[in-house]
């Protein structure tokens, strides 16, 4: 069964430009090399919700666990932490459409 990795966060205001450069230039390509395919990206414009929500999909739970247990994942995640706050992460069975 395909697994969706959902992540939410807020961008640190004074790091926005660096954040976008990192996400486009390093984070997304790195995630894809690990075997995760981006499926959704949402930005909150108004309200008390996380500023960013992204979703990635992979083939199954063992593959998802292998990826998030890898040193490459930890390295990418830790670099991302330099630009964000209020990070949340969960893995769920992938279904069609938007999922929280």
- Note the pTM of the prediction, 2 decimals: 0.89
Torsion angle defined by CA atoms of residues 62, 65, 67 and 73, in that order, rounded to the nearest 10 degrees: 180
Given strand 37-43, what is the order of strands in its sheet? 37-43, 52-58, 3-11, 84-93
- Greatest Cα pair distance in the chain: 40
Of residues 94 and 98, more confidently modeled: 94
Q: Is the pLDDT reported for residue 83 higher than 70?
A: yes
Contact 88, 8 (CB under 8 A): yes
pLDDT digits (tens, 9 = 90+) for 42-81: 999 888 899 999 999 999 999 999 999 999 999 999 999 9
User: Can you give the pLDDT at residue 96?
Assistant: 73
Provide the CATH topology of domain 3-93. Alpha-Beta Plaits (3.30.70)
Q: Where are the domains of the chain?
A: 3-93
Q: What's the rounded Cα separation, in Å, for the pair 89 and 91? A: 7
Tokens standing for 57? 């999909």
């Amino acid at each position: 069964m395909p697994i969706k990795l959902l992540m939410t966060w807020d961008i640190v205001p004074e790091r926005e430009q660096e954040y976008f450069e990192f996400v486009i230039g390093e984070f997304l390509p790195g995630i894809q090399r690990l075997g995760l395919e981006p499926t959704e990206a949402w930005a909150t414009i108004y309200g008390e919700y996380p500023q960013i929500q992204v979703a990635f999909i992979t083939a199954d739970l063992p593959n998802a666990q292998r990826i998030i247990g890898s040193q490459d994942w930890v390295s990418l995640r830790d670099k991302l932490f330099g630009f964000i706050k209020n990070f949340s992460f969960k893995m769920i069975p992938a279904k069609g459409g938007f999922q929280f």
